[in-house]
Chain A
Amino acid sequence: MKYLTNKKLMITAAAFIVIAALSVVFFPGCEDTYSNTIKGVEHARLTHAPFVPPPITRDYPTKVIVNLETTEEVKRLSDGVEYVFWTFGGEVPGKFIRVREGDLVEFHLSNRPDSKMPHNIDLHAVTGPGGGAEASFTAPGHTSTFSFTAKNPGLYVYHCATAPVGLHIANGMYGLILVEPKQGLPPVDKEFYIMQSEFYTEGKHGEPGLQPFSQDKAVNEEPEYVVFNGSVGSLTGDKKLQAKKGETIRMFIGNGGPNLVSSFHVIGEIFDKVYGEGGVIVNQNNVQTTLIPAGGSAIVEFKVDVPGTYILVDHSIFRAFNKGAIGMLNVTGEEDSLIYSHKQKDEIYLGLDNKDVKSNLTVNPSVSNQTSSSGASNDLKALGKSVYSTTCQACHQANGEGIAGVFPPLAKSDFLNNNKDAVIHAVVKGLSGPITVNGKNYNGVMPPQTLTDDQIAAVLTYVYSSWGNSGKTVTKEEVSKVRGGSTASR
Chain B
Amino acid sequence: MLKKIFIPVIILILTTSVSAATPVKTKPAPEGMVLISGGTYVPLYKKEDESGKQIVKPFYMDIYPVTNKEFLEFVEANPKWRRSNVKKIFADKFYLKHWAGDLQLGNINPNSPVTNISWFAAKAYAEWRGKRLPTIAEWEFAAGASKTKPDAFDDEENINRIQKWYSQKSPEKLPAVGSTEKNYWGLYDLFGLIWEWNYDFNTALVTGESRGDSNLERNLFCGSGSASARDVKNYPAFMRYGFRSSLKANYTVHNLGFRCVIDAAN
Contact = CB atoms under 8 A, between A and B. Distances in A.
Interface of A: 72-74, 84, 113-118, 120, 129-130, 133-142, 161-165, 167, 171, 212-213, 215, 219
Contacts of B253: 139-141
A162 B208 contact: yes
Contacts of B225: 163
B169 A73 contact: yes
B128 interface: no
A69 to B, nearest CB: 16
A135 B208 CA distance: 7
Contact of A213 (B163, B172, B209, B210): B163
Contacts of A114: 169-170, 172, 254
Given A162-B242, A164-B239, A84 B210 contact: no
Given A139-B247, A164-B235, A116 B255 contact: yes
Given A130-B208, A135-B208, A164-B235, A141 B169 contact: no
A116 B170 contact: yes
Q: Which of B164, B211, B213, B246 has the most CB of A within 10 A?
A: B246
B67 to A, nearest CB: 20
B238 interface: yes
Contact of B233 (A134, A135, A215): A215
Contacts of A133: 208-211
Interface in B115-169: 160, 163-164, 166-169
A117 B239 contact: yes
Interface in B235-266: 235, 238-239, 241-243, 245-247, 251-255
A142 B168 CA distance: 21
Contact of A161 (B166, B211, B235, B255): B211
Contact of B235 (A138, A141, A167): A167
B167 A139 contact: no
9 contacts: A113-B94, A116-B255, A117-B166, A139-B243, A162-B246, A164-B239, A167-B239, A212-B168, A215-B235
Contact of B242 (A84, A118, A130, A142): A118
Contact of B241 (A116, A135, A163, A165): A163
B202 interface: no
B169 A161 contact: no
Contacts of B233: 215, 219
Given A139-B251, A141-B94, A141-B254, A163 B210 contact: yes
B212 A130 contact: yes
Q: Which of A129, A161, A163 has the most CB of B within 10 A?
A: A163
Enumerate the 3 nearest inter-chain pairs by beta-carbon distance, A residue then B residue, closest first: A137-B208, A118-B246, A130-B209
Contact of A84 (B167, B241, B254, B255): B167
A130 B169 CA distance: 27
Given A129-B212, A165-B210, A219-B233, A212 B167 contact: yes
B36 interface: no
Nearest to B94: A141
Contact of B246 (A129, A138, A161, A219): A138
B206 interface: yes
B94 to A, nearest CB: 6
Contact of A163 (B168, B239, B251): B239
B47 to A, nearest CB: 18
Contact residue range for chain B?
20 to 34
Nearest to B247: A139
A219 B226 CA distance: 14
A297 to B, nearest CB: 20
Given A134-B208, A141-B94, A215-B160, A163 B254 contact: no
A114 B98 CA distance: 12
B246 A163 contact: no
Contacts of A141: 94, 251-254
Contacts of A130: 207-209, 211-212
Contacts of A167: 167, 235, 239
Contacts of A118: 242-243, 245-246
A212 B94 CA distance: 31
A114 B253 CA distance: 9
Given A139-B251, A215-B163, 7 more contacts: A116-B166, A117-B242, A130-B211, A162-B246, A163-B210, A164-B235, A164-B239
Contacts of A115: 170
Contact of B210 (A135, A138, A162): A162
A162 B242 CA distance: 7
Nearest to B243: A118
Contacts of B241: 163
Contact of B164 (A72, A120, A137, A212): A212
A338 B113 CA distance: 73
B169 A163 contact: no
B167 A120 contact: no
Contact of B254 (A140, A162, A171): A140
Given A73-B169, A140-B254, A141-B253, A161 B243 contact: no
B167 A171 contact: yes
A163 B238 contact: yes
Contacts of A74: 169
